[in-house]
Every structure is written in C-alpha cells, then in structure tokens.
Chains A and B, each alone.
Chain A
C-alpha cells in the first residue's frame, strides 16, 4: 500500500515537472491548439460542403471526429517527451534515483492528460463558434469528454513504449504519424464508412477510433435517426467496445512500457 502511495507521490512530482514546461514554453501549447482549430475550420468549411451526411449537418457530425483525432495526436507528446528525456540524459538521472520505477511513466502520461484537457476546451469553444451544440445533458456530455480522454490516455501508453524504443524524438514523430494518420482517417471521423470500399469499410467499422467517435456523438447528441450507425456490434455498443480496447491497450502496454523504461539507455 505504501509502495503504491510512493509511486503516486513520485508520479505527481514528475507530472509537475512536465506541467512547468507547458507554462515555460507556451508556444508549444499554442501550436498544439492551433492545429485542431485549423482542422475544425478546414473540414467544416472546405470539405464540409462536399461530404453529405443524411439528415444532418456536417459540422455537427465533424466535431466529435476532430476531438478524437486531436486527442490521439496529442498522445504522441508522451512518446516524444520520453524520447527527448532519454536523449538529454534525464531518464538516466531518474533511473539512478531511489524512486518508483513506474513513476516517470505515470507522471508523463498524467501530465499529457492535462495537455489534452486544455486542447479539448479550446476546440469545444471553436466548435461552439461554428455551430456545434451539445444536445444531451451535462452528465452525458461529461461522459463523452471522459471517454475521449480515457482512450487518449490508453494510446499515450503505446506512445510511451514507442518513445522509449526509438533512437530520437524525430523518429517517434514520423513513426507515430504512420500509425495515427490511417487510424484516425480510416474511420467514421470525417466521412461515413458506408461510402468506403468493402475491406476498408470493415476495418473502419471495427476500428476503435470509430467506436470512440460514435460514442462521443451519441453522448453529445450529435447523431441523427437518418444516419444510424452500421449494424456491427462495435458501433451498436460503442461505449463498451471503446472500454474493451482501453483495458486491452493498458494491459499490454503498461507492462511493456515499464519494462522498456528499465532498459532504456541514454544515447
């Protein structure tokens, strides 16, 4: 029990260190929030006109998709931050201290949730400005935001593992892009999978990102009876499907990342 408390205390110390960086280098936050704003405006006004959503309004359809994409991209900060810390010898410093072995990763992933919260707030305001509305209750909307953050938290453990594996932060940024880009586009984020060719549609339907987006749309009340989700279990039960993925990702990548941390060597 006290070991667990120590782990959280150490994690909080590391998280605080990461948050100080957000405060000291505000440019970083400015750029992480500018790109989602740009995405909202680009898709809302440029592509929005050519993507038909039965019975609904594209911008309203779009917002949950952009939220999901942005928080998943935000999770890569976890990996880039760790790769950077290895390169600068800071992980060596932590590893030579009598602290909890998982605290650096707990602290890192926790501070990146804070980062994602700030980004979601900025995007929500942008969304409201262009006509997006939450049409359900406050508890449901909060559940929607929590589900997005939870999924991103799980993804950030994948990124933590990758960040400790790659030789430099640049490699992580390029490599993670190859995964996050298809994952967030071959889904129901920006277009309806019903319009995709066969195998791509199957992938999109079972893609956990689609489930997160579908769940968020339902919890925000951005769905329309004219555009029902495809008749597959993953999208008929998007909250459950998302939670299964969150648990599975954490079960695999938390131990993997911690093991990799213990091996991580400076370069």
Chain B
C-alpha cells in the first residue's frame, strides 16, 4: 500500500523553541494514524505543515504523493482539515457554512447546495441546518466542522484533537463518525491527548514529545513494550496512601503511581495474582481499608507515563503557553 501521508526529517523552530525536531511519519492508505502527545509536543505543528498552513524549516512532507511545499494547492485539493476549535462561521447557518466551502471547492451552483444538504443529514444536523451556528452546542459545531472538512470528499483527512472539549456522549458520537469515514477508505491522521481515543480508533500510534518520536507501533505493541501487569488499589482513607505506597513499592518492578484525588495506587508488577494477594494481606495487617483492588494489563496511559514521565491529563499552564506561543 502506498503511503498517503509521509514526512521525512521535519523541523520547525519558533525562535528558541523547537516544535518539531526531525519528525518522520508514514501513514499507509486507508489507515488511521494516532499522533499522541502532551500539549506542546508538536502535534498541531505537524498537522499545520501537512495542511499547507505552515512551512517547515527543514525536511519533506507529502500528502497523497504531493509535496506540500512544491504544490500546496494540489495538497489542498486532496485534504480535509478539522481543527482544534470549530472553524465554522457562527453567524452563518450550518447549511450556509457547508455551501460556502462547497463553492470554494468549485462544486458549483448546483453541486454545493446538494452536498451541503447531504452532509447535514449524515451528521444529524438537518433540523439545525437553517439555524445560525451561534445556536449550536459544542458537539454540533464539531460535527459541522468535520462535515466542512468532508465537503470535497477528500482522500486524506487531518483531525486535530477532534474530541477535545466534548462531553462523553459527544465523544463517542464523534468516534462512530470517524470509524465510518475510514471504513469508507479515507486515510486519516488524528491527533489526540486521549489515549483511549487512539486505542479505539488508530491502526498505528506515534507518540511524540518535544517534537520527536518517542515510541510507535500498534496499541498492543506499545503496551507490550511497557510490559508487565498492573496492580491497582483504591483506598478508603487518604491518610493511608503513603503507607500503602511503601507496601506496594516492596513488590513493584517500577515506580508506584499515586492519584491522590481518587486515592488510587498503581504499581507495575511481575508475578501475577500472588503479588496482589500478598500486598492485600500486608495492608490488612496494617489496618488499611481497601475499597477496590485488581490486576490489569497496561493501558496506553501507562505507556505514556513510562515513556514521558508524565500522565496525559496533567496539563500545566506552561505547557499550554508553549502550545499557544509556537502556534503563532
């Protein structure tokens, strides 16, 4: 299968900050690549280069075999982009937004309105189609934005954090739509901060941090790479957390992760159920009340934690500032 998205040695710097530091990517036709990383990792920068919004300082980027620098217009004809925030005009109706994009794609006076109505129906926006977008919910705006990316039936789609800010129902709805798209044969690059999302949707996952690839493979390969099993405990009382941590540390093969807020402790172990039972027995001796316990295989969250030393959901303000600054 031919690669529909390809990057070799992409570099992008913003003054002192290096957003992309020699990124290599390839996405075979008809597959989804999940580009995963914390805020400021360079995900958005990569998408902006592939979609011709930004020129790389070095390296080559190709979409459907077309070089983004040599023929940006050729790339634009073949792609659909749905960004981090819904780029739809809130004063226009849903229909007018899609019709406008269709006309700019030269679908014509008859083609554009027809395509707009089709997409409204497909994204369950028919009833809202003639209302200004101002009145839409966040989920509806996202669906409309995705619909706008699909107007010209692109062969390659770029979705930059398509579910960020959506409620769980909106998110699962979006996932269904994205799955359908790829079943239809599209090639898709999806950036996300949610490991669950990458796990559910992506054929391949690339984890980047500081503009560099730190891991890649299928979700299963990444989990295997981290290895082992996880013992997980939830305590009844917060003051027992330190004690339980030291108990678990005795049998763990890596760092014990503590979520203070939910009083949850996770430790990588090797040795299976006996390790868990021994830990439980010791905690009982110490008088620690355990609310919930179990063994599980590593999740992508564990992968992330092991690789980057930070969890995906801890977004510091510095990270956010970094993501926004280079975005200029």
Contacts and interface: CB of A to CB of B under 8 A. Distances in A.
Interface of A: 6, 10, 13, 16-17, 20-21, 24-25, 88-90, 92-99, 167, 265-267
Interface in B72-90: 73, 76-77, 79, 81, 83-90
Nearest to B79: A96
A266 B83 CA distance: 10
B92 interface: yes
A90 B96 CA distance: 14
Interface in B111-133: 132
A99 to B, nearest CB: 4
Given A25-B91, A88-B87, A265-B53, A97 B48 contact: no
A265 B51 CA distance: 12
- Chain B binding surface SS class: loop
B262 interface: no
- Chain A binding surface SS class: helix
Interface in B302-325: 324
A167 B106 CA distance: 32
B278 to A, nearest CB: 54
B48 A90 contact: no
A98 B77 contact: yes
Nearest to A88: B87
Given A24-B92, A93-B148, A98-B73, 20 more contacts: A6-B106, A17-B89, A17-B92, A17-B100, A21-B89, A88-B85, A89-B85, A93-B88, A93-B101, A96-B51, A96-B52, A96-B79, A97-B76, A97-B101, A97-B104, A98-B76, A98-B77, A99-B105, A265-B48, A266-B327
Contact of B83 (A16, A24, A92, A167): A92
A262 to B, nearest CB: 9
Given A24-B132, A90-B89, A265-B48, A96 B81 contact: yes
A167 B324 CA distance: 12
A89 B148 CA distance: 13
Interface size for chain B: under 10, 10 to 19, 20 to 34, or 35 or more residues?
A: 20 to 34
Q: Which has the most chain B C-beta neighbours within 10 Å: A16, A92, A93? A: A93
A20 B79 contact: no
Contacts of A24: 91-92, 132
A94 B86 CA distance: 13
B103 interface: yes
Contacts of A94: 104
Contacts of B84: 89
Nearest to A99: B104
B54 interface: yes
Nearest to B132: A24
| Top-10 shortest CB links A-B | A89-B87, A98-B76, A93-B87, A21-B91, A98-B77, A96-B81, A99-B104, A24-B91, A96-B51, A97-B104
Interface string B33-77: 000000000000000100111100000000000000000010011
Nearest to B84: A89
B87 A267 contact: no
A60 B6 CA distance: 67
A96 B92 contact: no
Contacts of B103: 13
A20 B53 contact: no
25 contacts: A13-B104, A16-B100, A17-B89, A17-B92, A20-B96, A21-B92, A24-B91, A24-B132, A88-B87, A88-B90, A89-B85, A90-B89, A92-B53, A93-B148, A94-B104, A96-B51, A96-B52, A96-B76, A97-B104, A98-B104, A98-B106, A265-B53, A265-B328, A267-B324, A267-B327
